[in-house]
Amino acid sequence: MNIKLTEKSSTKTEIRFITPDELEKSRYKKLLESAGFEAKEESSCFLYEKEKLFVGLDDKTPNSLRTAAAVAARALKKANFKTVALSVNEKSIKPVTEGLILGAYEFDKYKSEKNDKKITIELVSKKASELKPLFKEAKIIAESTCFTRDIVNTAPDDIHPGTFAKIAKKLAKENGLACTILEEKELKKESCNAILAVGRASVHAPRLIHLAYQPKNAKKRVVLVGKGLTYDSGGLSLKPATSMVTMKMDKAGASAVLGMIKAVSELQLDVEVHAFIGAVENMIGGNAYKPDDVLTSRSGKTIEVRNTDAEGRLVLADVLDYAQDTIKECDYLFDFATLTGACMVALGQYTTGVMGHSSRLKHSIGKAASNAGELTGSLPFNKHLRKLLKSEIADICNIASKPYGGAITAGLFLDAFIKEENKQKWLHFDIAGTAYTESPWDVNNYGATGAGVRMMSEFVKSL
């Protein structure tokens, strides 16, 4: 799908967004109603003889416009129009552009027959030249989200820790980023024993990846950390067969972090961003780490392993510690991980769980997420849940002694590896529910959603 901004349309075929009030006044009201169309969110109707695609809107907020644009993009893929026009203004240009790109997204890498339809959507405005910066910004953010989606959707046989590192190197080269990759020998020197334990049963050795975007006049410094389980079998605490399907998505946190630094660098924001990724494959074998093992993490804290399927937090423990030692001073420290099914139980599959100590920071993130069209919900820490991580033989246990509040206890585990000076700067994002979908919703089609990229781009932009 080709999207361009223009002052004049070259076609009579057009997309029209319409609210219930507008439908009542529309000259096409009878035709639309006879076709069963209702002007509500995620509804659409072609009037082919009139060369018009009508898409329902609840209201004209940016989030509704973004959703409507995604619905339009999906509908157009089923039609035979070659060029379609859509009127935009300074308020609609960004959400409409994002919605069209995200709604048109399709992952067909493994299909022998590709959808080769070529559709041009003309975004029409008399002020097209003035809207160019907003159009460009929206394209960068949406395309970075799709970049993340592609990585998550790629099969685990094609993306393992080694190939994930190659993707990071390629991005660094294309976007002028500094790139450091620690392989097995360097990880041993750094005492990243938790990462090494999780990855040792795999034929693909782990990697710790550090990308840096460092503009000359940076106003703030942001550190992003991503969980990159390129595949998670559960280890010896083996997942059920049905739960193992879609576990390619366990690299979504790391993939999102790559998408974030891609967007920030292409937007050329005056904010220094460091992305740290633990790329690991959790497999089974004679040398797999075991329940009852005690691991000494990079920070020196010892961890009793009671479940090898609670591996993401072990990887993040080492990466968070390495990131904090590498970047001594930062303004913000955020980690992104498909960490717990419990987060979906608490918030549903459409909402990212946010945890941390700073209420002000959580509020700022919530505002940025809302502006970007992503949903977040805050899950509160408390001292009683912290007690559930107590180990009788080590400093901390990798799972709680009771099954309740699992998303929060996972966040509290990570909190144990956050240095005191960074406690108020740190937030943990559990994207287990939002990173992947098997049922299309909002701007998301089947598969990876790119959760976090739009939200964090909006937040960094606000700095």
Q: Say whether pLDDT at 78 is over 90.
A: no
Is residue 119 domain-shared with residue 147, that is, in the same domain? no
- Which class for 9: exposed (0-12), middle (13-18), buried (19 or more C-beta within 10 A)? middle
As a whole number, mean pLDDT of residues 223-234 equals: 98
Asked if pLDDT for residue 115 goes beyond 90, the answer is no
Residues 384 and 437 occupy one common structural domain: yes
Question: Sheet harboring 44-47: ordered strands across?
Answer: 2-6, 120-124, 83-87, 14-18, 52-56, 44-47
Find all residues with CB under 8 Å of 178, minimum gap 6, and list them. Answer: 172, 210, 211, 212, 214
Q: Output the pLDDT for position 314.
A: 98
Residue 304 falls inside a structural domain: yes
Return the SS3 of 174: helix
In this predicted structure, the answer to whether residue 132 has a pLDDT above a threshold of 90 is yes
Q: Tokens 């099914």, residue?
A: 341
Catalytic residues: 239, 313
208-217 tens-digit pLDDT: 999 999 999 9
Distance in angstroms (rounded) separating the CA atoms of residues 70 and 428:
29
- pLDDT band of residue 218 (cuts 50, 70, 90) is very high
Read off the amino acid at residue 8. K
Tell me the residue range of the domain where 304 lies.
141-462
Question: What is d(CA 182, CA 185) in angstroms, rounded to the nearest whole number?
Answer: 8
Does the pLDDT at position 114 exceed 90? no
Note the pLDDT tens digit of each residue in 292-315.
999 999 999 999 999 999 999 999
Cα 117 to Cα 82, 101, 110, 319, distances in angstroms: 8, 15, 18, 43
Q: For 353-400, how does the pLDDT look when each residue is reduced to its tens digit (9 = 90+)?
A: 999 999 999 999 999 999 999 999 999 999 999 999 999 999 999 999
Q: Does 246 reside within a domain?
A: yes
- Rounded distance between C-alpha atoms, residue 171 and residue 235, angstroms: 31
Domain end position, chosen among 97, 126, 155? 126
Q: How far apart are CA 450 and CA 407, in angstroms?
A: 20
Q: Does a structural domain hold residue 135? A: no
Distance of CA 447 to the CA centre of its chain: 12
Give me the mean pLDDT over the 8-14 stretch.
95
What is the Cα–Cα distance from 144 to 102, expressed in whole angstroms? 10
Question: Mean pLDDT over residues 175-179, rounded?
Answer: 98
Per-residue pLDDT tens for 273-282?
A: 999 999 999 9
Within this chain, do residues 196 and 299 fall inside the same structural domain, yes or no?
A: yes
Q: What is the pLDDT of residue 197?
A: 98
Same domain, yes or no: 192 and 48: no
Q: Is the pTM of this model over 0.95?
A: yes
Question: Under a CB-based contact definition with an 8 Å cutoff, are residues 334 and 427 in contact?
Answer: yes
Shared domain for 153 and 289, answered yes or no, is: yes
Per-residue pLDDT band for 173 (boundaries 50, 70, 90) equals very high
116 has pLDDT over 80: no
Do 97 and 168 belong together in one domain?
Answer: no
Question: How far apart, in whole angstroms, are the C-alpha atoms of residue 216 and residue 235?
Answer: 44
The residue written with tokens 């507008």 in the block is 22
